[in-house]
C-alpha cells in the first residue's frame, strides 16, 4: 500500500490512482471480512505522492459505505491540501464520509449510475445520553458541514435539508442523490467517467 506506482504510459504525465472503497477503518476495528480502506496506510501514501516528483496528479476512485468519520475527514483534509492536481470520481456509491472525500479534490466527478447518501452523523453501540455527548456529535456534524460547503458549491441550507430529510430513506434520516442532481445542487462539479477525470488531470498537468 505504501509503494507508489505510476498510472499511465511512459509518454503521458504520471498519475497515481488511489481507490478508497468499502468502510474507512480508523481506530475502530472492523471484521476481517469487511473490505476496508485503512487510513493509517493512506495518510503517509498521500504525503509521499505530494513529494514524489515523478507523480504529477492524483485520481481518487470512491465507492464508500461509511466508516470512521474522523479517519475519513483526515484523508479528505490531506487531499484538499495537496498542491498537485487532484480529481475524484464517485463510482457506485458515495455513502456518508464519501461525500467530504468526493469534494476534497480540486475537480469532482460522479459516474452517471452513481449515487451519494447524505445523512447526519451516527454511531453504533451504546450512547451515553449526557449533554457532552450531544455537544460532541454536534461539533462533528458542524465540521463535516463546514468542510463540504467549503469545498463545493452546495449551500449550507440545501445540505442541511438533504441531511435531515425524513421521507426518503427507510428507517433512517437523510437523502440519496444521483449524478445529475448532485451536479445541479453544486455538490459535485460534473457527471463524468474515467476518461473525463483523466482528461482533466492531463489538462491541468499540461498547463503546469
| From 16, 88, 95, 96, active-site residue | 96
For every one of its 208 residues, what pLDDT tens digit does the chain have, with 9 covering 90 and above? Answer: 444 444 444 445 599 999 998 888 876 666 656 656 788 889 999 999 999 999 999 999 999 887 788 888 999 999 999 999 999 999 987 777 889 999 999 999 999 999 998 887 665 544 455 555 556 666 778 888 999 999 999 999 999 898 888 776 656 678 899 999 999 999 999 999 999 999 999 999 999 8
> What is the longest distance spanned by two Cα atoms in the chain?
60
| From 16, 95, 108, 119, active-site residue | 119
- Is 119 part of the annotated catalytic residue set? yes
Q: Which domains does the chain have, with CATH numbers?
A: 15-207 (3.90.226.10)
- The DSSP secondary structure of 141-208, one letter per residue, reads HHHHHHHHHHSSS--HHHHHHHHT--SSSTTS--EEEEHHHHHHTTSSSEE--HHHHHHHHHHHHHH-
Beta bridge partners of 18: 60
DSSP symbol at 10: S
As a whole number of angstroms, the distance between CA 55 and CA 49 comes to 6
pLDDT confidence of residue 142? 87
pLDDT confidence of residue 9? 47
DSSP symbol at 44: H
Beta bridge partners of 62: 20, 90
pLDDT confidence of residue 119? 81
How many other CB atoms are found less than 10 A from the CB of residue 108?
27
pLDDT confidence of residue 49? 96
pLDDT confidence of residue 3? 44
Q: Which residue has the cell 463545493?
A: 152
Q: Cβ-count burial of 179 within 10 angstroms (0-12 exposed, 13-18 middle, 19+ buried)? A: buried
As a whole number of angstroms, the distance between CA 96 and CA 11 comes to 38
pLDDT confidence of residue 15? 95
The whole-model pTM stands at 0.83
Asked whether the CA dihedral 157, 127, 72, 111 is positive or negative, the reply is negative
With contact defined as beta carbons under 8 Å apart, do 89 and 109 qualify? yes
As a whole number of angstroms, the distance between CA 39 and CA 60 comes to 14
Amino acid at each position: 500500500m505504501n509503494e507508489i506506482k505510476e498510472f499511465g504510459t511512459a509518454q503521458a504525465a504520471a498519475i497515481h490512482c488511489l481507490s478508497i472503497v468499502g468502510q474507512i477503518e480508523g481506530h475502530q476495528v472492523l471484521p476481517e471480512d469487511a473490505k476496508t480502506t485503512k487510513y493509517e496506510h493512506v495518510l503517509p501514501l498521500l504525503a509521499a505522492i505530494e513529494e514524489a516528483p515523478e507523480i504529477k496528479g492524483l485520481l481518487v476512485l470512491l465507492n464508500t459505505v461509511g466508516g470512521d468519520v474522523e479517519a475519513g475527514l483526515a484523508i479528505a483534509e490531506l487531499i484538499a491540501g495537496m498542491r498537485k492536481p487532484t480529481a475524484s470520481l464517485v463510482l457506485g456509491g458515495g455513502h456518508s464520509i464519501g461525500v467530504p472525500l468526493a469534494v476534497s479534490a480540486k475537480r469532482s466527478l460522479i459516474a452517471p449510475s452513481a449515487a451519494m447518501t447524505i445523512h447526519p452523523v451516527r454511531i453504533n453501540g451504546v450512547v451515553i445520553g449526557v449533554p457532552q455527548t450531544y455537544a460532541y456529535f454536534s461539533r462533528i456534524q458542524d465540521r463535516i458541514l463546514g468542510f463540504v460547503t467549503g469545498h463545493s458549491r452546495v449551500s449550507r441550507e440545501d445540505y442541511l435539508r438533504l441531511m435531515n430529510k425524513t421521507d426518503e430513506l427507510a428507517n433512517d434520516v437523510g437523502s440519496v442523490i444521483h449524478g445529475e442532481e448532485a451536479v445541479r445542487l453544486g455538490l459535485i462539479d460534473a457527471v463524468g467517467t474515467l476518461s473525463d477525470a483523466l482528461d482533466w488531470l492531463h489538462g491541468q498537468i499540461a498547463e503546469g
